[in-house]
Amino acid sequence: MRAATVVDGELEVREHPDPEPGRDEVLVRVRAAGVNGADILQRKGAYPAPPGSPADIPGLELAGEVAALGLGASRFAEGDRVMAIAACRGRPGRARRRPRAPAHAGAREPDWPEAGGLPEVFTTAHDALFTQCDLRAYERLLVHGGAGGVGTAAVQLGAAAGARVTATVRNADLRDAVRELGAAEAIDLEDVASAGPFDVVLELVGAPNIPANLKALDTGGRIVVIGVGAGFKAEVNLLALMGKRATLRASTLRARPLEEKAQTARLMERHVLPLVAAGALKVPVAATFALDEAAAAYERFTAGGKLGKILILP
């Protein structure tokens, strides 16, 4: 197989032995794969692959067709169209069937780029908002980095749950598009304090936002950190945290045991995929690249100023 491969900190497309599905695994012929912040960090050597996964092949999410079944794998058949979160490209992953239903139900099936950019960001956003922070209808949600992949997923999920969503969007030209996804407000970071108070803050940017988050947080509010691209060391005013009886927590999917990852997949399949099939949620696609252009895809991702996902289409 050909795979985007980290070589001395750079990304090259190289040949690798074809993977074989292990017990309870499926092998997927990849048609689309989303680029995520974890991939960029792995290329830098700052986010190691999980044990047992090739350290030089980044990648988290994909869509494609089942090419082979491992021993004991019975949920899918060869040829089924699936989406998956994988430890890395080139390894079998935790798959779920792409949403589809009879036409009379008003359902739709995502195309390959949208499907390839869906599983990681919607699973991450759903887990952070509902499992970690117990977001409820009529609460106020602040999403930092609302134009990115996880940000656009979180905006839509929060709005679908009945929360009032405010998103910070650095690029003013993208704010109208984020509002169209369901945000009541799309604002500059400098306006966070005046836009609050918020019950839940989803931190996708990193340490520099923590002081402003605490100031904008309502009593009993919850902050969950799932992105640290702008920095990972912050000074926290514990008195402010105590006075607001607030919760500050952080989360990542990669470090969890397989059983916990499977649980996040089941929750996403149960609560998110019906909304995708009904057309209530979508994956904005900013740009697509061929596999041979994987390095350019990474550079486009790091350049910022985009709405939604960067996809690689093998």
Report pLDDT digits (tens) over 92-103: 445 556 554 333
CA 29 to chain centroid, in Å, comes to 21
Q: Do 234 and 130 share a domain, yes or no?
A: yes
Whole-angstrom distance, CA of residue 278 vs CA of residue 74: 27
Whole-angstrom distance, CA of residue 273 vs CA of residue 294: 28
CATH no. for residue 226?
3.40.50.720
* Per-residue pLDDT at 89: 40
Whole-angstrom distance, CA of residue 88 vs CA of residue 54: 7
98 phi, psi to nearest 5 deg = -65, 140
Whole-angstrom distance, CA of residue 121 vs CA of residue 141: 17
Among 202, 233, 250, residue at a domain's last position: 250
Q: Do 232 and 260 share a domain, yes or no?
A: no
* Per-residue pLDDT at 108: 66
Among 250, 284, 300, residue at a domain's last position: 250
Q: Could you tell me the residue range of the domain that residue 139 belongs to?
A: 123-250
Residues contacting 190, CB < 8 A, separation 6+: none
* Per-residue pLDDT at 94: 52
Report pLDDT digits (tens) over 141-167: 999 999 999 999 999 999 999 999 999
Q: Do 114 and 127 share a domain, yes or no?
A: no
CATH no. for residue 274?
3.90.180.10
Q: Do 103 and 129 share a domain, yes or no?
A: no
* Per-residue pLDDT at 105: 35
Report pLDDT digits (tens) over 19-43: 889 888 899 999 999 999 889 988 9
Q: Do 268 and 294 share a domain, yes or no?
A: yes
> How are strands ordered across the β-sheet holding 164-168?
185-187, 164-168, 140-144, 198-203, 217-225, 247-250
Q: Do 132 and 239 share a domain, yes or no?
A: yes
Whole-angstrom distance, CA of residue 280 vs CA of residue 277: 8
Among 201, 235, 250, residue at a domain's last position: 250
Q: Which amino acid is at 301?
A: F
Q: Do 52 and 168 share a domain, yes or no?
A: no
Q: Which of 150-159, 176-185, 234-243 has the lowest mean pLDDT?
A: 234-243
Q: Do 47 and 114 share a domain, yes or no?
A: yes
Strand-pairing partners, residue 68, are 27
Q: Do 64 and 93 share a domain, yes or no?
A: yes
Q: Which of 174-183, 220-229, 254-263 has the lowest mean pLDDT?
A: 254-263
Whole-angstrom distance, CA of residue 6 vs CA of residue 9: 6
Whole-angstrom distance, CA of residue 208 vs CA of residue 46: 19
Structural domain total, the chain? 2
The two three-digit tokens of residue 288, written as one number:
């697509």
Q: Do 144 and 220 share a domain, yes or no?
A: yes
> Average pLDDT of 69-86?
91
Report pLDDT digits (tens) over 192-221: 989 999 999 999 998 999 999 999 999 999
Mean of pLDDT over the chain: 90
**4 membership: H or E segment, kind and range:** strand 2-7
Q: Do 307 and 240 share a domain, yes or no?
A: no
Q: Do 20 and 34 share a domain, yes or no?
A: yes
